[in-house]
Amino acid sequence: MAALESAHARMTALGLPVPSCDVVIFLDLAAMQPYAPPGRAVGLYQQGIETSFLVVAWKDAGDPLRALAHELAHSALVPGIRAQPLWLREGLAEVLSNLQPALGGLRIGAPIGGHLETLRKRPWLEWRRVLDAVPDSPILLEAESNKLFYAQSWLLAHSLVVGRSSGKSFAARIEALSEPAELPGRVPESLAIEFVPARAAAPQTEAKVRALEPWEHDYRLAELLRAMNRAGQAREALESLRSQFPQRPEPAESLGALDMDALEYRRAEERLGEAVRLGSENPSTHYRYSLLLMQPGKSAETAARHARRAVELDPSQPLHWLAQAQAEMQLGRWEAARSSLAGLDRRAADPLLREQVKVETAEIERRQEQQRRPPPTPQPPEKVAMAAAPQPPSISPPPPAPAARPKAQPHPGALTFWGFIRRVECTEEGKILTVTSPRFTVRVREPAGRPARLYSPPRNLRQIPCTLKDVEVNVVYRPAARFGPINGDLVAVIF
């Protein structure tokens, strides 16, 4: 725990945003196998919705403490390089896993003995195979080539960032990286080691170690499955926990979230309502429940109460303020809605959320203007002379009307963005759509196993093809809880 806290403090001192994570340590690869990604990884960082995870197979990790620091580095690098190639993500994580303390700062670039030994004793992989690698590439599935991939990626990332400050912060250097013009052909006689002045960052909260309660172990693993978009396995585990521990709100919270992801809103409302009755203090649960209760025919007053509770429990989350504003608007409490929008505007890093503040403010003004207008004076009905219509000749009944085109249903908590699909990136984690308008660009994710609904698609598309390009659409997406390179998860596409 102390080693992990030290790694966290050093990366924070470099200006890298390190989020809080749950740490899951398996005894070995065999125990980790049900949760392992493709390849021969002995650890992983899995970004989740409420919780993110650092996972390591302890006995097979070689240096397990550095392996944990490597996965922690992935969590810090997500906002800047999620869309960058695998070699860069892994190489930078290796560099950051070996930060060394020094008086008044940190040393970056200290040699990693295992990598140097691999590079000096084995023939190298062709660089093109390293640069083009993806998680399920053959070079990552075989033990020796896997070692070479990580060693060469570390050496290349080291040559790109260490000793190349040019007055830039370390975080700014990372953001400016691209594929190098020259590739190393051998291990240099000496590696650059850079001193970076940095003030030691105190941990935000004191690390605590405690024994898990009986339900917690399996619940954390079920949440890991949910974060990995293995919805079926997660649901099975959560249903079992719900039966075993009927007084705990957590399984119902997560089942309700899974139902919302699956667009099963009635069932989601039942599960989240159950969690609230069991005393849930999870801000995301109150936020989701408020969204569902803002639908037509539901209780706007109850929705506002749960939106306010979400803000009380986590005021740093902009989406909670947006839900509170929308609930107050439904109740006609215009000044309370404006106050909530001001809270959103102060906290939102996403320019689209700040734009949403303008949209909602304009809607408040429109509704207030409607209320200020006097009601129209009804006019007496005009008398119209009526004549009996002749009976039409007997004719055959008209043919049945063509089936109505499906209409896009409202999706709680989702935003709609108009633009043109410019690119669809297909990865092992799902698809990422880049959609542009004259003012904004959004990148939304369709996670593997959670296909978006398609309304009126051209050419009878059943899914979003990787070749789709320059098509005008409205994308409906749920904004990400934390602003980053992905704006949110795709719910629907309206063509």
How far, in Å, CA of 195 to CA of 110, rounded? 10
pLDDT value at residue 17 = 78
pLDDT digit string (tens) for 342-373?
999 999 888 889 999 999 999 999 988 888 88
Question: 82 with 174: CB under 8 angstroms?
Answer: no
Q: CATH fold of 415-494, please?
A: OB fold (Dihydrolipoamide Acetyltransferase, E2P) (2.40.50)
SS (H, E, C) the chain: CHHHHHHHHHHHHCCCCCCCCEEEEECCHHHHHHHCCCCCCCEEEECCCCCCEEEEECCCCCCHHHHHHHHHHHHHHHHHHCCCCHHHHHHHHHHHCCCEEECCEEEECCCCHHHHHHHHHCCCCCHHHHHCCCCCCHHHHCHHHHHHHHHHHHHHHHHHHCCCCCCCCHHHHHHCCCCCCCCCCCCCCCCCCEEEECCCCCCCCCCCCCCCCCCHHHHHHHHHHHHCCCHHHHHHHHHHHHHHCCCCCHHHHHHHHHHHHCCCHHHHHHHHHHHHHCCCCCHHHHHHHHHHHCCCCCCHHHHHHHHHHHHHHCCCCHHHHHHHHHHHHHCCCHHHHHHHHHHHHHHCCCHHHHHHHHHHHHHHHHHHHHHHCCCCCCCCCCCCCCCCCCCCCCCCCCCCCCCCCCCCCCCCCCEEEEEEEEEEEEECCEEEEEEECCCCEEEEEEECCCCCEEECCHHHCCCCCCCCCCEEEEEEEEECCCCCCCCEEEEEEEC
Task: Please classify residue 178 by burial: count the beta carbons closer than 10 Å to its beta carbon, then call 0-12 exposed, 13-18 middle and 19+ buried.
Answer: exposed
In this prediction the pTM is 0.80
At position 260, the amino acid (one-letter code) is M
Query: What span, in angstroms and rounded, lies between the C-alpha atoms of 97 and 112?
Result: 10
Segments making up each domain of the chain, as ranges: 2-197, 415-494
pLDDT at 167: 66
Burial zone of 165 (CB within 10 Å; 0-12 exposed, 13-18 middle, 19+ buried): middle
Q: Report how far residue 286's alpha carbon sits from residue 25's, in angstroms, rounded to the nearest whole number.
A: 31
One digit per residue, the tens of pLDDT, for the chain of length 495 reads 677 788 878 888 887 877 778 888 899 988 998 888 766 678 888 887 678 888 999 888 788 889 889 998 888 886 555 467 889 989 999 999 999 888 888 898 999 999 999 999 999 999 999 999 988 889 988 889 999 999 999 999 999 888 776 667 777 777 777 778 789 888 888 888 988 887 655 444 455 566 788 899 999 999 999 988 899 999 999 999 999 999 999 999 999 999 999 999 999 999 999 999 999 999 999 999 999 999 888 999 999 999 999 999 999 999 999 999 999 999 999 999 999 999 999 998 888 899 999 999 999 999 888 888 877 777 776 766 655 555 656 556 666 555 444 444 578 888 899 999 998 988 777 888 999 998 888 889 898 888 899 988 877 788 899 888 999 999 999 888 776 677 888 999 998
pLDDT of residue 338: 95
